[in-house]
Structure 1
Amino acid sequence: MEPNSFKNLPSQLTTNILSRLPLRSISISKCVCKPWLNLLQSDDFVKSKLKTPPALIRLMPDTNSTQCAIFEFKDEDEADAESHDLQLFPLADFDIPHGNSAAIYRARQTNGLLLLYSSVERHVYICNPITREYIELCCPADYISILNFGFGVSKLSGKYKVICIIVAGLGSGSTFVYTLGTGIWRRVEPGPASGRTFDFNAYVVCNGNLHWTVYDSAKVQICAFDLETECFGVLSPPAVVYGLAVDVKLIVWRDCLCLYYRLDDKVVIWQMKEYQVKESWTIKCEISIDYSNGFGVNRNMNVYPIKIFENVDDIASVMVYTPSLFSLKNFGGENVISF
């Protein structure tokens, strides 16, 4: 093979090869040549079907920054299946600089980009901790209100959008959308979401839509926001949720929308096998809770599905994270800050 033949490979083939590398090797590969750097930081690489292995990200608020640590998972073949523990290896540890972050809410990610929101500064941050870049967005209006944010990417247009719902206070019920690269917030009609109370900062992304549990009087429903059409819709949860279920939450498992809640002495998890088909709700599992064995007598406590990992201490906000070298500079017109 001639020395220059590899760099002349079609970009699709180069993407296929680089996508199979572990994150450390991909980070090194961007230093090989400028064409590889541009490819690895492009949206085409993010959209490639072959994804980099997931990692774990930990965020801890500090005085003037958010401490960020990223861990790689140990090879699953070497993990201890009986103990159900996954070994983690530190990959990066740094600070995301910004103002007072004492009230930074739990981050959410889309294709390796993080959404961070500080109620103290009332600013929204879109950050890629791998490329050490972030964008600062002001809130859509000078409301003294409680704001609920969501972040996702449209499956058709590929546009990244931030949605802001004013859930309480002045302007309650107003909804705004910010498309990264445009520099402006746009008001959209709430439609069927009007008058409903959103579960605060508890959305999930499934099938290209954002989903919240919402409350209409005492009735629990699921509200979906289509990132392509920018319209709200309402999905029906399992019928049993209208009864005595407590702490109703949404998760995504194996690309399916799931709902879980606490009912009496058990946690019940449902899965919607066919998206938007009410009849496809199926119980996946029921977990019994023994209140006499360490749970005390507080039956009003919240229950969340969690996973215990080794080598991670003092966790403030931890989630599975899909690393990406996608550069925020691809959003033309945004003020990208490097750190």
Structure 2
Amino acid sequence: MGSKIVTKIGVLPGELLTKVLVQLPVKTLGVCKSVCKPWLSLISSPDFINSHLRYVIHNYNNNPTLLNILDPNSGKVVHDVPQVVPINGDMPALPDWVHTMYALLGSFEEAVYLLSMRYDRDGHDLSSCQIRFDRVVIPSFFQHSRVVGASCCNGIVCLTDDNIVYLWNPLIRRCKQVRVPELDVASLSGVRIGFGYDSGLNDYKVFRTLWEGNLDSVMLKLQVYSVNNDSWGEFQGPVWGKNLGEEKFKGNDFVVVKETLYLSSWDEQHLIAFDLRTEVIGLVSFPSFVQKKLSDVMDFEGYISVVFESVSGIDLWKLNDNVSGQGSSWTKMFTIAPDDPHPKLKMWLSCYLGAGQFFGKKLLNGNVFMYNVLYDCEKKETKYYGVGLENVLATLKYRETLVSLDGFHQVEENAN
């Protein structure tokens, strides 16, 4: 019998150790950083963070995640136990009995939360879906802010109180504050804030749109903040012949696909397209025969997509190219048959999660929330869940990452 060969993970070659660690979730990596100084240095390095991000992006579609951001002031939140493992190791030491209490209370709250998320409206087990449900209690630091959009960007969540934008990674408990330019009195119409990732320049960008003009003519103004440059730029867009009213701007559907920003336009007949490379604003017309829009602008497998109402239900269309103008080509991908006889109940899809799964809401009269929606376009199944979770401020398509931006600072957890 040959001698048994035992290899300690601590003496693995650096390249092999990186390949092992890069596959671990962020919370586990937070624990690994406390093992020894070499591991702390490795996991904190920019190269490792980028490698971990690439791994997460490559494998995300196999296990898409929905993150619920919870209100700490809701009566349904029993206590403010820190929801994530500290990554930088600067949390002060607590007595053993406090850790025990947190563990017990955390286990109880987690069990109640998971039970509420496990079954849909009709009692079907949601564990059969390829969706992972997660949550975080929003720190009181953001108590006057709202979450922007339906997706994070590589683990970064965007929030705003209109004067300041916060770029926050909840898993490492750090954020960056971005001061928003002051508005002129004449530029208060149709103000929206969005957030996106420019993969070509590896840059995170904040977008703000506003409209200037009068009842006869309005012009789009697009303001863009670059994290890399730490500065704002401003661009003028198309002119419309008539002011159509403030009610056209209820969404935050800013989506960046193939280095182009897309968002819904003033007239609800086009998409506004902003090429991040050429910095030119153009228009993409919707298919001429579609009816009412029933979704945000979404990234569907690398293509811009929008859901429209039709006589047979609702249809998802994808944009075949990124060329702005009247000649843009669209293809209908599939139809979602109506599943509710009530004519005032409509499905609104917010984002494509991956693995054939869409997330959205069921609305009454277009604005009253009834249920959360999970739609599987491969199985053609619709499931409703989340009734009664009043403490949920926002639900996002989410990726756990170690991404940290220049200017990040520590965000303290809520205090009991």
Instruction: State if a TM-score over 0.5 links the two structures.
Output: yes
* CA deviation map 1:185-231 (0-9, x unaligned): 222x2344777976641222322332112134xx6111122333333
Does the Cα contact within 8 Å between 1:273 and 1:282 map onto a contact in 2? Answer: no
Give 1 or 2: higher helix fraction.
Answer: 2
What are the Cα deviations for residues 243-301 of structure 1, in whole angstroms up to 9, with x where unaligned?
x43546422223322111224572222223555483341241142265447849x9953
Q: Check the 8 A contact 1:107/1:115 in 2, yes or no.
A: no
AA aligned to 1:279 is: S
- CA distance in structure 2 between the partners assigned to 1:316 and 1:100 by the alignment: 11
Do the aligned partners of 1:29 and 1:36 also contact (CA within 8 Å) in 2?
Answer: no
User: Which among 253, 256, 262 is matched to residue 309 of structure 2?
Assistant: 262
Q: 2:281 aligns with which of 232, 243, 258?
A: 232
Q: Are the aligned partners of 2:9 and 2:17 in contact in 1 as well (CA < 8 Å)? A: no
Deviation at 1:124, TM superposition (A): 0.9
Alignment-derived partner of residue 170 in structure 2: 129
Q: How does 1:169-184 map to 2 (within 5 A)?
A: 173-184=220-231
Change (3 A) 1:96 1:156: same
The answer to whether 1:206 aligns with 2:253 is no
What's the CA shift for 1:132?
0.2
Task: Please give the TM-score of this superposition, normalised by the length of structure 2.
Answer: 0.61
Distance 1:137-1:61 versus aligned 2 partners, 3 A rule: farther
Bigger radius of gyration among the two = 2
- Is 1:38 aligned to residue 84 of structure 2? no
Partner of 1:306: 373
CA distance in 1 between counterparts of 2:134 and 2:146 reads 26
2:153 pairs, out of 110, 125, 133, with 110
Change (3 A) 1:337 1:212: same
- Whether 1:326 aligns to 2:403 is yes
Taking only the aligned residue pairs, the percentage that are identical comes to 18
Q: Which amino acid aligns with 2:262?
A: H
Equivalence for 1:281: 331
Structure 1 Cα separation of the partners of residues 40 and 170 of structure 2: 21
- Which whole-Å deviations, capped at 9, do the CAs of 1:28-76 have from their partners, x for residues lacking one? 3333422332247734432445446443211245669xx99789xx9xx
How has the CA–CA distance of structure 1 residues 239 and 69 changed in structure 2, closer, same or farther, with 3 Å as cutoff? farther
Change (3 A) 1:182 1:175: same
Letter aligned with residue 46 of structure 1: L
User: In structure 2, do the counterparts of structure 1 residues 128 and 299 end up closer, same or farther at CA, with 3 Å as the change threshold?
Assistant: closer
What secondary structure, in the 3-state scheme, does the structure 2 residue paired with 1:115 have? Answer: strand
Question: Quick one: which of 122, 126, 131 aligns to 1:85?
Answer: 126
- 1:28 and 2:31 equivalent? yes
1:57 is matched with: 67
Closer/same/farther in 2, CA of residues 167 and 42 from structure 1, 3 Å limit: farther
Amino acid at match of 1:36: L
Q: Is the 8 A contact 2:70 2:135 kept in 1?
A: no
Q: Structure 1 unaligned runs (5+)?
A: none
Coordinate RMSD, CA, aligned: 4.3
2:182 corresponds in structure 1 to 141
Q: Across the two proteins, how many residue pairs are aligned to each other?
A: 316
**TM-fit CA distance, 1:27:** 3.4
From 17, 20, 37, give the equivalent of 1:17: 20
Partner AA of 1:236 in structure 2: S
Instruction: Specify whether residues 42 and 22 from structure 1 end up closer, same or farther in structure 2 by C-alpha distance, changes over 3 A only.
Output: closer
Q: Secondary structure at the match of 1:190?
A: strand
Is the partner of 2:334 in helix, strand or coil?
strand
Q: Does 1:336 align with 2:403?
A: no
Q: What amino acid is the match of 1:336?
A: H
Amino acid at match of 2:181: P
Give yes or no for contact 1:59–1:318 (8 Å, CA) kept in 2. Answer: yes
TM-score (norm 1): 0.73
